[in-house]
Amino acid sequence: VSDTFVRLDPRRLWRSEPRITRSGHVLMLGLGTAGRQVLHWLVEHKHDVVVIDEDASVVADLERRGIAAIQADGSNPESLVRAQARDADTVLCLLPRMDDAERVLVHLRGSNARTIVRVFESDDAARVERFGGVPVVTAETGADRFCTWFAENRENFAAHS
């Protein structure tokens, strides 16, 4: 019986699905409250967006709205490959744990994807910069201000990729 549940676990099912074929897209890792606002802005401004999130209901809702979504761990290299993270224009890492963000940054090292990482502490911001990402400290930037910041500074952080 437990083997049946493991096989039916939706987090495992994505592995059998075909890879998303895209390049030049914005890849969002994790959604959450702030991520929803950022996603709304990106879609409103006609960006091609792919979202990786662990929550099945979030993924189902995004798919109903015509937004490409993968139910998976956003820091897992297999899910990053499936979402073609290395071919993305921008990766927005909204994952809550810094260790997960570091795994993403390591995976993207050497790619042209610009990687923006939400962090909660200034020490984490320094870690993100050491790995070549662009940190955004949430205490300094709310979701609405983040969208404005993203639009105004997108080209300025190209050197960080």
Strands 90-93 and 114-119: parallel
Q: Which pTM value belongs to this model?
A: 0.77
Q: 64-112, pLDDT tens digit by residue?
A: 999 999 999 999 999 999 999 999 999 999 999 999 999 999 999 999 9
- For all residues of the chain together, what is the average pLDDT? 84
pLDDT at 161: 45
Question: Residue 153's pLDDT band (boundaries 50, 70, 90)?
Answer: confident
**Contact, 160 vs 111, CB < 8 A?**
no
Q: Residue 136: name the closest of 113, 111, 160, 109 by CA.
A: 160
* Continuous segment of H or E residues that includes residue 71: strand 68-71
Q: 23-74, pLDDT tens digit by residue?
A: 889 999 999 888 999 999 999 999 999 999 999 999 999 999 999 999 999 9
Bridge partner residues of 38 (DSSP): none
**Contact, 157 vs 142, CB < 8 A?**
no
Residue 64 to residues 8, 53, 61, 87, Cα–Cα distance (Å): 21, 15, 5, 25
Bridge partner residues of 51 (DSSP): 28, 69
**Contact, 24 vs 87, CB < 8 A?**
yes
